[in-house]
Amino acid sequence: MATFLSFHWCCLFLLSSIATHPLIEASNGGFNVQLIRRNSPKSPLYNPITDRFHSFYQVPNKSSLSPPSSPFAKVTSNNGDYLMKLSFGTPPVDIYGLADTGSDLVWAQCTPCYGCYKQKNPKFDPQNSKTYSPIPCHSQQCDLVPGASCSSENLCGYSYAYADSSVTNGVLAKETITFSSSDTGNPVAIGDIIFGCGHKDSGTFNENDMGLFGLGGGPLSLVSQIGSLYGGRRFSQCLVPFHTDPSISGTMSFGEGSEVSGDGVVRTPLVYEEGQTPYMVTLEGVSVGDTYVPFDNSSEMVSKGNIMIDSGTPATYIPQDFYDRLAKEVKEQVSMSPIQDDPDLGSQLCYRSNNNLEGPLLTAHFEGADVPLMPIQTFIPPKQGVFCFAMAASTDGYQIFGNFAQSNLLIGFDLDRKTVSFKPTDCTNQ
């Protein structure tokens, strides 16, 4: 992606059946995974020199927790994205992939790789795994993939594209995926996970990306594939704000242990149809302090499912007219004057400050759920001494509630009950 305006959202594949999972080493109560950032010392991608700051404008493109003895996967930040660590194969090989609620396919770059983007860490070699099993052509799973093709070896070829024109091409296969454990240290291994073994991948991925882990609502997503094993198709996330100590990790919980409960929980309906990938909800407006700014300034009812909750997109994108009215109110309630003489910042609303702004408090008014947003969720530093409003006008018709705003919120996605839950949470203490 050339600018921070891009995002991952795939809507190509709708599958109606998922493979079984014979290898399971976990309780059915669910489990949680750790979300760590790429610039965290816990990450193999950590560079103490270059990972001091994160640029909002250079982006290419989780109180109820799981029960004891629950497994987790680490997740790092990667210039505005969150990377989840999963281990592929037998013996397991660590893969750091983008955690993306806006797409379905789980995939990793594999060897041999023809025309693939440059990857810093070694690619996954299926020949070294005892549990790797490619899916053949004309099988039930392959036939359900629109546009599937047959390779010369009679294997099921796939091509999976994203809205930013990135694409992964390769072979669909089954593999054992292992999560770490946050409590006991015992691994959680799940067999026969359908994933894409990418042999030709291109687009806006960078050298730290080893693949992408789709967490959307479609049947190919990681959530859908493991849902029957852990009490339903639901999960929760608690994302650590990007401009906090990079050694602190967020969490992601699956199954029964992912239910968001307790004081302060609000819920909004998930505008979801079976097999649909994105998590669409209804945003009615945003308050800046005590001033309410409606999503639609007309007298008409706001459209249901007008915005997508996407962990793979950093900023929040809203219609131009809504953004103009919202930014105008923010300007009126911030005592400082906006920056107007820095070409690096473009037209974004930014302020010179060594610390994040003290206000104003914003409240996102979803249908039936008012979600407070502190400045740490609505302003981001693109460079030292500058903080910018982490919302922008959509240029392509897609409205997205991005991961900056999702930080320090325990957010639960329940595909079976068709709800999204929010609970203000200090995700740095999870």
User: Which amino acid is located at 200 in the chain?
Assistant: K
CA distances from 57 to 52, 193, 398 (A): 15, 35, 19
Separation CA 339–CA 323 (nearest Å): 18
What's the rounded Cα separation, in Å, for the pair 43 and 165?
28
Tokens 């400050």 correspond to 353
Q: Is the dihedral of CA 34, 202, 155, 224 positive or negative?
A: positive
Strands (E), 36-127: 71-72, 75-78, 81-88, 93-100, 106-109
Instruction: Return all residues near 391 (Cβ < 8 A) that are at least 6 apart.
Output: 315, 316, 317, 318, 323, 326, 327, 378, 405
Rg (Cα) of the chain, in Å, rounded? 21
Structure tokens at 409: 């919120």
Which one is catalytic: 51, 209, 310, 414? Answer: 310
Annotation says 310 is catalytic: yes
* CA 143 vs CA 162, 183, 309, 404: distances in Å: 21, 40, 30, 38
Total H helices, total E strands in the chain: 5, 29
The residue length of the chain stands at: 430
Catalytic residue flag (residue 209): no
Would you state the structure tokens that stand for residue 267, as one six-digit string?
Answer: 């819920």
From the candidates 51, 100, 164, 414, give the one annotated as an active-site residue.
100
Provide, for the chain, the percentages of residues in helix, strand and coil under a 3-state DSSP scheme, each rounded to the nearest 5. Answer: 10, 35, 55
Report residue 413 as tokens: 């996605």
Task: Judge contact between 422 and 368, C-beta under 8 A.
Answer: no
Which residues lie below 8 Å from residue 156, measured CB to CB, with a gap of 6+? 134, 135, 136, 137, 139, 141, 142, 145, 148, 149, 150, 171, 172
CA 75/CA 212 separation, integer angstroms: 12
- Work out whether the CA dihedral 146, 150, 154, 158 comes out positive or negative: negative
Give the residue carrying structure tokens 């810093």.
Answer: 120
- β-pairing, 188-202 vs 167-181, is antiparallel
Active site residues: 100, 310
